[in-house]
Amino acid sequence: MERAMPADFPFDVVAFDLDGTLADTAPDLTAALNHALGVLGRPPVPAGDVRHMVGHGARALLQKGLAATGEMTEALVDQGFPIFIDYYLDHIADGSTIFPGLNEALDRLSARGVKLAVCTNKQEKLALRCLDELGWGSRFDAVIGGDTLPVRKPDPAPLFEAIARCGGGRAAYVGDSITDTDTGRNANIPTVAVSFGFSDRPVEQLDATALIDHFDDLIPTLERLGEDESWLSCPICGSNKFVPRLQRGYVHCEACGSNERARLLWMMLGKHGLLMPGKRVLHFAPERSTAERFHALWGDGYEAVDIDPALYEFAPNIRKIDLVRDAARLPSDHYDAIIHSHVMEHIPCNITAILYHLHRALKPDGKQVCCIPVIRGGCWSEDLGPLTHQEAVARFGQEDHVRTFGADDIQLTLGMIFALPDPYDLTTEFDVATLIRNNIPRINWRGWSPNSVLVLEKSDLLLRS
């Protein structure tokens, strides 16, 4: 049964960092660190210094403590880590205190139907023990530690997992460090920074969505953030309302249905002078958010096509094209632009030929505006042979995919067909304010990703005699 959402509050889930956000745990972390250092024959680290070392987990804290008192080696870390953990478990909340106003804020959030979560880089068992000792054994609906998943903050996955375990919905995050605000930005989720935590830099430099000096200010701040979205604007339809989309945060435009890559395609078309009447454009697998707008703009010059037109009945005059069979039949020097997004992973043939023929069909000043999904930290993989549903999903993520594109070898694969940017950096195309306003998550700004959009000119083709 789907849970009831808060009727009078803009967020369904509020997640918190632990150390330096929910509680001042520095006294006990300092004691555990200095105990481990003492056993290793090192002098203690002042409590004030330890406060600024917290935020990346216990092992990182020990590494910093060793570096501050002499040589740091992984062998010493391995030796001291169990000493630190054993002591800390026995004294985890001896001197830790809850920040003023927090319990009252949590009570008020719960009373309004908001689910509460903890997302910390502390080991999960330590986080659970600490929360229990602080009297919060059953206070939070989800607790995600630094070892709960294979990745930790600032990767957004732990925050997404915390939100999912709370039932999903609109979420905000509260933290005290650059790790926390980076996590919120990577998740595309509003992040409130507290000024009284363990940050090693002025909180004004954390680039949080909002700052608070006391937990009495938390709920009014969240209400304001939920109501004031005027700083966002979908470049396609102008709406400022965005809703969650799977594991990508608030990227789905509630009005036109665009996601981040559809908005980027639109932005690139505009930047390169293509959003004007009189253009001839071929659009594969058209997006619902733009198909009718493109037709209204380009009229009969707009050709919406796909191998299965029945899936795109919303697109005016949609017709069938099978790229495997029909790419070589496209007219040469014909189109001002050819648009495709997340198409190339589906094509069951050598895509070098397909991309060549698409480029051949462009006018001399034409452009291929496309989004080819690139896996961060992955490599090219392809199989054109018969695959079962399970095999295709396991290897390529979807039953009708035949390949993946990887960031690690992109210059040796797609980069052998076209001159590609190296590195990929959206901030060379758009200023930061525009990317923020158009709700393009920061995780897509730099480095290859599934949402990287390319504008390929005729001269970018490297396959020449």
Dihedral sign from CA coordinates of 81, 87, 90, 91: negative
Q: How many angstroms separate the Cα of 34 from the Cα of each of 76, 93, 128, 308, 396?
A: 14, 16, 23, 66, 48
Q: For residue 215, which of 97, 98, 101 has the smallest C-alpha distance?
A: 101
Task: State residue 363 phi and psi, 5-degree precision.
Answer: -65, 165
Q: For residue 331, which of 305, 350, 369, 358 has the smallest C-alpha distance?
A: 358
Question: Is 17 labelled a binding residue?
Answer: yes
Whether the CB-CB separation of 318 and 309 falls below 8 Å is answered with yes
Question: Is 19 labelled a binding residue?
Answer: yes
Give the chain's end-to-end CA distance (angstroms, integer).
63
Helix 26-39 and helix 58-68: axis angle, to 10°? Answer: 60
Write down the catalytic residue from 17, 147, 180, 306. 17
Q: How many angstroms separate the Cα of 201 from the Cα of each of 36, 176, 197, 206, 397?
A: 27, 10, 11, 8, 41
Whether the CB-CB separation of 453 and 372 falls below 8 Å is answered with no
Distance CA 95, CA 109 (A): 27
323 token code pair: 């790229």
Kindly give, in sequence order, each residue whose CB lies less than 8 Å from that of residue 249, ignoring residues fewer than 6 positions away.
Answer: 156, 160, 187, 188, 189, 441
3-class SS shares of the chain: helix, strand, coil, % to 5: 40, 15, 45
Q: For residue 118, which of 94, 148, 85 has the smallest C-alpha distance?
A: 148
Q: What angle do CA 376, 380, 385 make, to 5 degrees?
A: 135
Kindly give, in sequence order, each residue whose CB lies less than 8 Å from that of residue 240, ignoring residues fewer than 6 positions away.
Answer: 229, 230, 231, 232, 233, 234
3-state secondary structure of 317: coil
17 has catalytic annotation? yes
Known binding-site positions for Mg(2+): 17, 19, 176
Cite the active site residues: 17
Known binding-site positions: 17, 19, 176
